[in-house]
Amino acid sequence: MDITENQSEMAEEVQGGRLLTFFIGDVTYGIDMHHITEIVGLQAVTEVPDMPVFMKGIINLRGKIIPVMDIRLRFGIEERAYNDRTCFIVIDISGTPVGLIVDSVSEVMAVPPGEIAAVPPAGAGKSNRYVKSIGKTGSGVVLILDCERLFAEDELLRLANL
């Protein structure tokens, strides 16, 4: 497979090239729109005992219990206080709704197939397991997340049973 075919396949994986972009610090991330259920303002999170540190707890969203994960903690980035720009992006992972706590949401953007590139190797002992591809924009890059890889299979099973 040549690089052009690889870029086309990555672009097809990103629904029509449409991404919801958001920030963690100064870094722009994107999630394929087909994973997005809704965006919700910050609300009270109920802690659940014996959960991984990156799982902040659960929220009650119109009668539905949604587990929430702080993306910063999942990525090993220092935690920071939430503010009025902090919000939840509710996504669907294999039929399980999960809220992702992000610093702020930016926009929905289209990324043409020719502007999507493979993730460069991380180096010895490192991993880019959460990033599936990179979208090039006029002003920089968007790290496109692989939502299915945000959770190990056993973690997702546990969340589905909350």
6 has pLDDT over 80: no
- Of all helices (H) and strands (E), which one includes residue 68? strand 64-70
Distances in Å between the Cα of 60 and the Cα atoms of 63, 67, 77, 120 are 6, 9, 26, 39
The mean pLDDT value of the chain amounts to 84
| pTM of the predicted model over 0.85 | no
pLDDT digits (tens, 9 = 90+) for 44-82: 999 999 888 999 999 999 999 999 999 999 999 999 999
pLDDT band at 16 (very low <50, low <70, confident <90, very high): low
Domain CATH for 156: 2.40.50.180
Domain that holds residue 92: 3-160
- Buried b / exposed e over 122-134, threshold 16 CB at 10 Å, is eeeeeebebbbbb
**Domain count of the chain?**
1
Q: Are 108 and 31 in contact (CB under 8 A)?
A: no
The strand pair at 55-61 and 64-70 is best described as antiparallel
